[in-house]
Structure 1
Amino acid sequence: MASSEATIVALHYLYPTTVFAYFAVTSLAAVFTLQDLGTSKGTRVQLPGRWTTIGLLAAFVSAHIAQLITTVVRSVAGAGRPPRDDLVVGQLSCVLVFGLQLSRIYDSQQPLWYPYVGSWAMALPFEVVDGVSTWLSSSRTASIEFLLVNTILVSLRCVLLAVLLGLFCFRCIRRTSLILDEEEQPLLSNTKPPRNNESVSQRQNGHSIYGSTSTSGDDSDDRPEMPRDRRRREAHEAMERRLEAGGNWLSYAKDFMIFFPYVWPVGMPELQARAAAVVGCLLASNMFNLLIPRQTGLIMDSLSGISGANPWLAVATYIVLRLASSESGIELLRQWLWIPVQNYSNEAITRAAYSHIMYLSADFHDSKSTSDLVMAIHGGTSISKIVENVLLHAAPMLIDLGVAVVYLSVTFGSYGGFTTVATGTVFFFLASRLIAHTGRDSRRRLNAHFNEYAVRNRGFLGWSTASAFNQLGYEDNRHANAVTTRWSRETQYALRWNCSVALQSAVLTFGLAASAFFAVRRIRLGQATPGQFAMLLMYWAQLCAPLNFFARLGKSISDDFIDAEQLLDIMQRQPLVKNKKGARPLKFVAGEIEFADICFSYDGRKEVINHISLCVPPGTTVAFVGSTGAGKSTLLRLLNRFYDVTTGSIRFDGQDIRDVDLYSLRDRVGVVPQNPILFDDTIMNNVRYGKITASDEEVYDACRAASIHDKIKEFADGYDTRVGEYGVHRLSTIMSADMIVVVEKGKIIEKGSHEQLILEKGRYADLWSKQAFLKPHKYTEDGDKKLDSSDIVNDISVDETKAQLSKVKPQSGDDGTGQLEN
């Protein structure tokens, strides 16, 4: 008889535990494999009758509640004592498990059914066995009325489960027949085409899949997309593409293994030992989290005389434990051990990302803004943040939660364990829903904040324009509206967030209240001590932090992956222009350059350079002239091998530049950019940038060649004079060039000296007439400026002297070849 009773008690606990475990595992598997997102890779079955399912499941949960009430009333009214723990906890657990399923189906427009159907299939035999065992065990002691009510409720639950399973099977069969019928229909259907920005799968599913963005309602803004929003959107879309391609989170996370050598200190035993010691510190923290509440209970029992322990010793032990677990104990040691590992990770990722970006070719840099690259490198620190959150926070807190459930169940019985599990489950579910709902308010708040900043910044930068056009009032009103909108969104977000925090706090408070009542009950029955009640209060205080952390862990990790997504994309890129295997250094002979029937296109469609052939003999100065977009800059970029030609070849002293070492080529070519940018540094360092190893005398010689040495010596600080960024005074030497090449639409249309092209009265003459290539002003006797269109301004910038240090220089004293661009 005792064994039979033990079996029934075990059955009451096993039933909800098994169903909950199956539902939790399958739901997590659905999230892990992306089936809950409604993508084509999911096994989602779109069936009608969701409200029917909700109604049947609600009736099933109500039947459990009714049996729980019946059990409590019978026990109190009949025997005058509380009902058995296994009966109450078992029914409460069933209400929790199936109530959770009911709420999830209610929240989802298109549920993934197999976690639910599997739970119902597992629950049906448990219900039958439970009903039979309860009848057999209570038939001799229970009243006929109780047995009748219990039988009716158990039978009702079995019927409801059978109906739910039957409806699902019927709908699956019906759906299969509908699919077969659809396969016999004409290929061209009358279905309306999807609306703009809506995929076919979205129309079929009846809702937006992940990655689709709603532009309706209050979530849309009438302002243009900001760079921050664009970066976030692009990273989120890239994350979704990787997830869908991989099919699960594990495959997605494998891509980030490229960062492993930077996150884990490979080849650094000292840092690895520190990381291992950190794990030991975390385990010690878990032990303290168990011992400190227990020691509090021992102090209370020693003071009340329940135990014979020395209260002074108990208090001293408590103080030692608190000190060891505080920021001046194990936490200080953990931080001392971890900070070098953390700094290594952040430093290594930052250095590797910067180095990788700098060695990518021009096609990449031309497609990215500086802010994008800076933010991508900054996002790389999110990789170490993910590792820290999972290993240093999630794992220890998960251990704490498991220990708390087990310890409280042992100390306060099944009620204590159930209350802890139920509170945690409800808290997680509620917190995840609230976080999802407040996410939109958070985005709108941030958008309003950045919009206000942008309006204010534009106003300050454009003050002169606003004043000149008498639009100060307009700018003032626009700023006022931005400020009002931002504070309105701040208020909405704060109210929603505070309400969600209050609701979560209420859940924890009610859970604590239930645990406290159960603890008092056991103390009154002599099954626990007042010291254990104090221990319970401390445990609940420690549980709040892990519950809040886990409620936000999923979103935090997702956000970290999104932040790191852009850097991952960059680190996986390879330069399009790179050295061939076995490339040899450039052999410099005389400096002859030949463009041999070259063509080039940036996008693969429209050719920027169209069959250009040109030979530049050594010692010849050639100027490329043409309107914007004609291809002048592209020619020089091709010469430097920022890009490779599509067809044809560029030869340097007879050597195809694609066959020589890339850096030996660039070491021989000096460049004066069309828009020179100076570093915020001294003139000496700016000029020396053309050849970092140049001596001071070489810098002086380069400046003398550029006719700027004497001018620099006139400055108070000479070559130590600092120049600001973006300094430009341009070199205009077109007239003195040996050859002027006019480029238009990627083709050479004219070629010759300045005088020849002027006399031809072609495109060059037309361009010349629109420019002001003038010599330093000559003045008449009356002081008026006298202009002569045949002269040229002799303005030379510091930036141009950089080329003098690295420009093509023939050996044996021959003249050099340089390229100047108008």
Structure 2
Amino acid sequence: MRAYADNDYPADHKPDWKVIAGLWPYLSEFRGRVVLALVLLVLAKLATVATPVALKYIVDYLDQTRGEDVLLWIPVLLVVAYGGLRFGSTLFSELRDAVFARVAERAMRRISLRVFRHLHQRELSFHLDRKTGGLARDIERGTTGISFLLRFTLFNIVPTLLEILLVAGILLVAFNGSYVLAILVSVVVYVVFSVKVTEWRTRFVREANARDNQSNSRAVDSLLNYETVKYFNNERYEATLYDRDLEDWEKARLKNRLSLATLNAGQALIIGIALVVIMSMAVREVAAGEITLGDFTMINAYLIQLFIPLNALGFVYREIRQALVNVERLFKLLGDNPVIVDKPDARNLSVEKGDVRFEHVDFSYRSNRPILKDVSFGIPAGTTLAVVGASGAGKSTLARLLFRFFDVDNGRILIDGQDLRDITQDSLRAAIGVVPQDTVLFNDTLYRNLAYGRPDASEEEVYQAARMANLENFIHSLPEGYETRVGERGLKLSGGEKQRVAIARVILKNPPLLILDEATSSLDSLSEQAILGALREVSRQRTTLVIAHRLSTIRDADTILVMEAGCIVETGHHADLLARNGRYARLWYQQHQNDED
């Protein structure tokens, strides 16, 4: 079974070890700390390796002076040295971790911030295609994986390898080469076995991650659409789908755990055989009088000292492979460049008048389905242009292109003669205010959601925007007023209340260009009339593009475009278009008939 996650990695894909090298730029901010941590690492290992030597001299002294008068201060001094070395090993290790902690935490902070910024720079189509739950899991596991790689690669694998080399050197000098050969063979067999089996079971780890993402995405999506689930009485249906995803996750986790048990058992067998072989060699030499009892103790201590971290090394290698999988996914997110990018020589938008022009614009979301076909029109500075038409005619696409969520396929869009592709996205979007058809609020207070239009605005400016959007009476009727929390995605507010918040935000932003995408579609007639007055006041002296469904709201527009199947089929003022008795007139009379009915 091949499991694919959101970024299309197959379950048997092998991670790139170069990912570890990609972490170095995040460590370079604290090079001095990294070097000091490495020095402390070496000191800790030297103390660890010297500890069995001290133990050997204690045992040899006591064995050789058995039945004789013993100078008590000598064994006491050796014991003190032995305790000091053990304490030194722990002390240097803890100091190493303390010194490196700032480096690791800062690296995680830098990478998390970079990912967050990068995701906000991605184009709209990227976010429309992604599953939020799976993406959140990728980021969470990726940052955790980075911390693991930084700590364990540097402070577990490197020290263990250093310890093996030091022990091998001591045994080679103090004893014959058979001990070194036995240890090296054991280490090589252990490492090869661990690597091969870990490579084999990586596919199960990936599959478990993919199934975890899938189930989490399902849960998040269902909970975000809580009301829809309730409307259709589909709680059991959602639970069934979620349980199906959990079943796949359970099966993947089971494979992962069984393969882990195989790996652990094999590693334990290799270590057990190595201990029996090497200790048998030492016992034979002690019996033959070739080595002392202290030597035997030292060999035993070194074996315990080596194989305990070596056993941990097997765990660490498994976890490093897991961390590489997670970090690679995170880095892949960073490696995928945004589709909509600023040119190297892009300049800031300069809005002097606010004249907007679409010239021969073609656009399609998919190559086989054109949305706009040779669309040309202008919005003179300070005027209001309304676009009407049936659903799917391409009305909202005009707003998305003007805001540069997408780039045109052919033609161009100009603001005061400046092509949108030649100016920075930041300056473009700072100049445009948008009231969307579907307003989604942050799970925060009403005040903070209002102030989001301009976070540095004063309280009085926020209150004034709320008054202009006909929100003040509603807010004062709430027990907590402006400090009322609106809930996830603003679910505690009605559709009309959320839309008025969106209008207040734009009033607060005070941009030279406005896009009103069916801005009053969720309002009752009384609220609509009140807000239309505010919108007329706000749009005065501003260039405004109105996407309209209710034609009564755009009677006073300077120009009205009628779109059909991605083309402009009629243009004119309200009275002129009615007089022509064309498509606009039919839409107008149809809506009036529906209202009367």
Given that residues 133 and 216 in structure 2 are in contact (C-alpha distance below 8 angstroms), is that contact kept between their aligned partners in structure 1?
A: no
- Counterpart residue identity of residue 581, structure 1: D
Match of 1:736 in 2: 553
- For residues 98-177 of structure 1, what are the structure 2 equivalents within 5 Å? none
Q: Kindly indicate whether the alpha-carbon contact (under 8 Å) linking 2:348 and 2:428 is maintained by their aligned counterparts in 1.
A: no
Q: Which residue of 2 aligns with 1:298?
A: 57
Aligned length: 532
Matched, 1:231 2:3: no
Contact 1:608–1:630 (Cα < 8 Å) also in 2:
yes
Give runs of aligned pairs for residues 176-255 of structure 1, distance below 5 A.
Answer: 219=1, 229-231=4-6, 233-234=8-9
Pick the structure with greater CA Rg: 1
Q: Which runs of 5+ in 1 are unaligned?
A: 1-218, 244-248, 266-270, 775-786, 790-822
- 2:83 is aligned with what amino acid? I
Counterpart residue type for residue 290 of structure 1:
V
| Residue 345 (structure 1) aligned to one of 76, 99, 107 | 107
Match of 2:31 among 247, 250, 272: 272
Q: 1:716 to 1:520 in 2, by over 3 A?
A: closer
Q: Report the counterpart of residue 124 of structure 1 in structure 2.
A: none
Q: 1:534 aligned to 2:297?
A: yes
User: Hey, what's the Cα distance between the residues in 1 that align with 2:28 and 2:106?
Assistant: 9
CA distance in 2, matches of 1:464, 1:677: 16
Contact 2:388 2:563 in 1 (8 A): yes
C-alpha separation in 2, matches of 1:677 and 1:282: 51
**Structure 1 residues 498, 599: CA separation in 2 closer, same or farther (over 3 Å shift)?**
closer
Secondary structure at the aligned position of 1:231 is classed as coil
Q: Give 1:261's match in structure 2, choosing from 25, 48, 58.
A: 25
CA positional deviation for 1:741 = 2.5
Equivalent residues of 1:412, 1:522 under 8 A apart = no
Counterpart in the other structure of 1:103: none
Q: Which amino acid aligns with 2:86?
A: R
Offset of residue 716 of structure 1: 3.5
1:322 counterpart (72, 76, 86): 86
**2-side partners of 1:676 and 1:470: how far apart?**
25
Does the 8 Å contact 2:446/2:484 carry over to 1?
yes
Q: Residue type of the partner of 1:230?
A: A
Q: RMSD of the TM alignment (CA)?
A: 4.1
Check 1:674–1:484 CA distance in 2 against 1; reply closer, same or farther (3 A cut). Answer: closer
Q: Does 2:357 correspond to 1:581?
A: no
Match of 1:745 in 2: 565
Q: Is the 8 A contact 1:235 1:565 kept in 2?
A: no
Aligned partners of 2:218, 2:132: CA distance in 1, in Å?
21
Map Cα deviations across residues 114-159 of structure 1 (whole Å, 9 max, x no partner).
Answer: xxxxxxxxxxxxxxxxxxxxxxxxxxxxxxxxxxxxxxxxxxxxxx
TM-superposition CA deviations, 1:298-346 (whole Å, max 9, x none):
22222222698822222222222222222xx222211211111111111
Choose which of 423, 426, 430 in structure 2 pairs with 1:663: 426
Q: 1:369 to 1:504 in 2, by over 3 A?
A: closer
The aligned runs of 1:27-38 (5 Å cut-off) are: none
2:158 match: secondary structure: helix
**C-alpha distance after superposition, 1:554-578 (max 9, x if no partner):** 6554443432334434434256332
* Superposition deviation, residue 673 in structure 1: 1.6
Structure 2's unaligned 5+ residue stretches are 500-519, 522-549
Q: Which residue of 1 aligns with 2:167?
A: 404
- Paired letter, 2:562: V
- Residue 47 of structure 2, aligned match among 288, 292, 300: 288
CA–CA distance in structure 2, aligned partners of residues 718 and 467 of structure 1: 30
1:613 deviation in Å?
Answer: 1.4
**In 2: Cα distance, 1:298 partner to 1:717 partner:** 76
1:358 aligns with 2:358: no
Residue 545 (structure 1) aligned with residue 304 (structure 2): no
Would the alpha carbon gap of residues 489 and 661 (structure 1) be closer, same or farther in structure 2, given more than 3 Å must change?
Answer: closer
Cα deviation, 1:325-372, whole Å, max 9, x if unaligned, reads 22xx22221121111111111111112232233334445545544446
Structure having greater relative contact order (Cα 8 Å, sep ≥ 6): 2
Cα deviation, 1:741-778, whole Å, max 9, x if unaligned, reads 3323321123345566567675556666887999xxxx
Once the two structures are overlaid, the 10-residue window that deviates more, 345-354 or 380-389, is 380-389
Q: Are the aligned partners of 1:680 and 1:722 in contact in 2 as well (CA < 8 Å)?
A: yes
Once the two structures are superposed, residues 451-476 of structure 1 have per-residue CA deviations (whole angstroms, 9 ceiling, x without a partner) of: 7878888999889979988996x988
Q: 1:235 touches 1:566 (CA, 8 Å); kept in 2?
A: no
CA offset digits 1:214-266 (Å, max 9, x no partner): xxxxx46xxxx6xxx413643879977xx7xxxxx6xx559x64x5432321x
SS in 2 for 1:286: helix
1:431-450 matched pairs, under 5 angstroms: 431-439=194-202
Of residues 315, 321, 334 in structure 1, which corresponds to 2:96?
A: 334
Counting aligned pairs with the same residue, the percent is: 28
Normalised to the residue count of structure 1, the TM-score between the two structures is: 0.57
Q: Once the 2 structures are TM-superposed, how far is the Cα of residue 709 of structure 1 from its aligned partner?
A: 3.3
TM-aligned CA distance change 1:647 to 1:397, over 3 Å: same
Identify which of 484, 503, 508 aligns with 2:271. Answer: 508
Q: Secondary structure at the match of 1:544?
A: helix
Q: Shift of residue 398 of structure 1?
A: 0.7
Return closer, same or farther for 1:736/1:236 CA change in 2, 3 Å cut-off.
same
Q: How far is the alpha carbon of 1:519 from its aligned partner?
A: 0.9
Pair 358,717 (structure 1): closer, same or farther in 2 beyond 3 Å: same
Q: Secondary structure at the match of 2:377?
A: strand
TM-score, normalised to structure 2's length? 0.76
The alpha-carbon deviation at position 531 of structure 1 amounts to: 1.4
Aligned-pair CA distance for 1:515: 1.0
1:289 Cα deviation (Å)?
A: 2.0
The whole-number CA distance in structure 2 between the counterparts of 1:356 and 1:488 is 34
The 8 Å contact of residues 598 and 609 in structure 1, kept in 2 or not, is answered as: yes
Q: Which amino acid aligns with 2:301?
A: M
The farther-off stretch of 730-739 and 317-326 is: 730-739
| 1:576-599 deviation line (CA, Å, top 9, x unaligned) | 33256262441322x332222222
Secondary structure of 2:431 counterpart: coil
- Cα pair distance change 1:445/1:306, threshold 3 Å: farther
Evaluate the alpha carbon distance shift between residue 528 and residue 272 of structure 1 in structure 2; reply closer, same or farther with a 3 A threshold: same
Shift in alpha-carbon separation, 1:632–1:582, aligned structure 2, 3 A: closer
Q: Show the counterpart of 1:624.
A: 387
Q: Deviations over 1:458-495 (max 9, x none)?
A: 999889979988996x9888888888887777666555
Task: Return 485-494 or 407-416, whichever deviates more.
Answer: 485-494
Q: Cα deviations across residues 33-74 of structure 1 (Å, max 9, x unaligned)?
A: xxxxxxxxxxxxxxxxxxxxxxxxxxxxxxxxxxxxxxxxxx
Aligned-pair CA distance for 1:718: 3.5
Report 1:374-393 matches (<5 A).
Answer: 374-375=136-137, 377-378=139-140, 379-380=142-143, 382-383=145-146, 385-393=148-156
Q: Which range moved further: 476-485 or 277-286?
A: 476-485
* Equivalent AA in structure 1 for residue 113 of structure 2: R
